[in-house]
Amino acid sequence: MAAAAVPTTNGSATRRARWTYSDRILSRPGAYVDEEDGFVPGEAPITSVENARILVIGAGGLGCEILKNLALSGFKKIDVIDMDTIDVSNLNRQFLFREKDVGQPKATVAANFVMKRVPGCTITPYVGKIQDKDQDYYLQFNIVVCGLDSIEARRWINATLVDLVDMENPDSLKPLIDGGTEGFKGQSRVIFPTMTSCIECQLDMHAPRAAVPLCTLASIPRQPQHCIEWAHIIKWEEERKDVTLDTDDPEHITWLYKKALARAQEYNISGVTYSMTQGVVKNIIPAIASTNAIIAASCCNEAYKIATTCAPCIGMPGQNNYMLYTGDTSVYTYTFEHQKKDDCPVCGNLPKDLVVNPTSTLGDLVESFAERPESQLKKPNLRSEGKSLYYSSPASLMAQTKGNLVKPLNELLSDGEEIAVTDPAFSTVFKYRVHFS
């Protein structure tokens, strides 16, 4: 019977030779899943892995690991986004890159390397920002895996995937798997947008970047990093105010390095180097290859389980969704359920539908808020994404926006647009999606 489970369709019988052993997981009943969970051992889960479209965001330290793991797990349709080019300092851990690749885009080089090593796997690179892509682009994928070092980018993709969820379309729900590392520490988490705690709900898990007091930089530098920050924050402003600092421009880094070095000598501080300057200015977080490997492995196993249902994944509603790994004081790992926040600005508070007469005025709407039982607003501030509609505080904005009160709504808003209403009397934000009657 085992032979029957090895598919021979789509070409040669050796098509899945590389995955003979992992296919056994998919072609035998699972210990913790059954048909009720949607797991039917055999061809179906194998096809799921082959056909799943996976988006990998980031082709750096984590991204290299993630792309390699996904391809070797049998995923065949992968896209990767990264805006960076390869720097010589990446080569120690970003193992898909070689010295000859320095200066080339990470996404392209990583895709080509993995495709060469794993025939049959197609990786489509995009060199650019995640913000370049629209909702239709993200709708193509089944699972999104992030290996990013930026909180801003995480928040953006999180909000985008929450927005994407459309009750008419089951495929609009994209599981988001997020990995992150910092030195010996890391985390992997699974998010089902709108259903479970999202990245915005979990923002308190990221400590704000540690900063040195400005006056320490100006008055008593004690470490080489202080001299670099001084050159970066104070000296650049002073001497090159009209030039926008480009942290990828070697001339700019050299300038900062020289200023920092001179200051360090003045205060008898040693240790300022060009690469330290680059690290401090670009806020490069120390990365350890094996921490990346641990976290990426966990992210990719979750992707595999989600795509195939062969074993329970983390992140299901009411279950653990966050795996924390700490290797800096011995080894500790802990998996827990980070709770969804009811007042999360991204997923907690979905807009209520509000039907309005398009020719009624904004003033009418504000008045109706004062009467609505759930709001009863006294000093509201109202805006859409692009427009400050009416602000009762501060005084200057009130003066600038009160003219809108007499305007008809269809002059200020478009049908279906979202507005956010706040009031000092309420800690929550009221969101409405305005529909014209």
Partner 1 sequence: MLKIWSMKKEQQKSEVAAGSNKKKVTSAQLRVQKDLNELSLPDTISTHFPNPDDILNFVLTLTPDEGFYKGGVFTFTFAISVNFPHEPPKVTCNEKIYHPNIDLNGNVCLNILRQDWMPVLDLNAVIVGIQFLFLEPNAGDWLNKEAADDMKGDRERFYRNVRSAMAGGTVKGETFKRVLKAKPGEKA
Part in contact with Zn ion (CB under 5 A); list of ranges 45-53, 190-198, 239-247, 330-338: 190-198
Instruction: Give the residue with the Cβ less far from Zn ion, 339 or 400.
Output: 339
Pairing of strands 388-391, 381-383: antiparallel
Contacts for 386 with CB less than 8 Å, ≥ 6 apart = none
Return the DSSP state at 150: -
DSSP H or E segment with residue 326: strand 322-326
Query: Which stretch in 82-90, 162-170, 244-252, 357-365 sits in contact with partner 1 by CB under 8 A?
Result: 162-170
Helices 61-72 + 106-117 axis angle, to 10: 30
Q: Which of 393, 406, 407, 411 binds partner 1 (CB under 8 A)?
A: 393
Determine the Cα–Cα distance for residues 393 and 23; give it in Å rounded to an integer.
Answer: 62
> How many residues make up the chain in this entry?
437
Separation of alpha carbons 150 and 168, rounded Å: 32
Q: Determine if 129 is a binding residue for partner 1 (CB under 8 A).
A: no
For position 200 contacting Zn ion by CB under 5 A, the verdict is yes
In whole angstroms, what is the distance from residue 170 CA to residue 180 CA? 28
Q: How far is the CB of 153 from partner 1 (least distance, A)?
A: 10
Written as six digits, the tokens of 385 are 């994404």
Q: Which is nearer to partner 1, 22 or 422 (CB)?
A: 422
* Residue 198 interface partner, choices partner 1, Zn ion, none, CB cut-off 5-8 Å depending on type: Zn ion
Select the residue whose beta carbon is closest to Zn ion and give its number: 344
With CB cut-offs between 5 and 8 Å by kind, which of Zn ion, partner 1, none does residue 173 bind?
Answer: partner 1
Q: In 3-state terms, what secondary structure has residue 373?
A: coil
- Subset of residues 245 to 284 that bind partner 1, contact rule: CB under 8 A: none
Q: If binding is defined by CB under 5 A, does position 201 make contact with Zn ion? A: yes
Are the C-beta atoms of 217 and 230 separated by less than 8 Å?
Answer: yes
Is 418 among the residues that bind partner 1 (CB under 8 A)? yes
Contact positions with Zn ion (CB under 5 A) in 56-95 = none
Whose Cβ is closer to Zn ion: residue 36's or residue 152's? 152
Determine contact, residues 370/378, Cβ cutoff 8 Å: yes
Query: What are the catalytic residues?
Result: 215
Residues of span 299-328 touching partner 1 by CB under 8 A: 306-307, 309, 316-317
The residue range among 60-68, 252-260, 281-289, 381-389 that interacts with partner 1, by the rule CB under 8 A, is: 381-389
163 near Zn ion (CB under 5 A): no
Number of separate helices (H) and strands (E) present in the chain: 16, 13
Question: What part of residues 47-86 is at the interface with partner 1 (CB under 8 A)?
Answer: none
Binding site partner of 201, from partner 1, Zn ion, none, Cβ cut-off 5-8 A by kind: Zn ion
Residues 171-210: x where in contact with partner 1 by CB under 8 A, - otherwise, as a string: -xx-x----------------x-xx----x--xx-x-xxx
Asked if residue 71 lies in contact with residue 63, where contact means CB atoms within 8 angstroms, the answer is: no
> Which tokens sit at 398?
């009130």
- Does residue 406 interact with partner 1 by CB under 8 A? no
- Toward Zn ion, which CB reaches closer, 227 or 346? 346
Which tokens hold the place of 171?
Answer: 């495929």
Question: What's 53's DSSP letter?
Answer: E
Q: Which of 22, 108, 142, 188 binds partner 1 (CB under 8 A)?
A: 142
Residues 340-359 binding Zn ion (CB under 5 A) are 344, 346-347
The beta strands (E) that lie in 337-425 are given as 352-356, 381-383, 388-391, 418-423
User: Cβ of residue 177: shortest distance to Zn ion, in angstroms?
Assistant: 16
| Residue 234 site contact among Zn ion, partner 1, none (CB < 5 to 8 Å, cut-off depends on kind) | partner 1
Shortest distance, position 196 Cβ to Zn ion, whole Å: 9
User: What's the burial of 418, exposed, middle or buried (CB within 10 Å: 0-12/13-18/19+)?
Assistant: middle
Kindly state the smallest distance separating residue 162's Cβ from Zn ion, in Å: 7
Tell me which DSSP letter residue 233 carries.
I
Reading the block at residue 208, the tokens are 């704000």
Binding of partner 1 by 237 (CB under 8 A): yes
CA gap 139, 46 in Å, rounded: 22
Q: Count residues near partner 1 (CB under 8 A).
A: 80
Q: Tokens 């025939």 correspond to what residue?
A: 119
Residues engaged in binding Zn ion (CB under 5 A):
198, 200-201, 344, 346-347
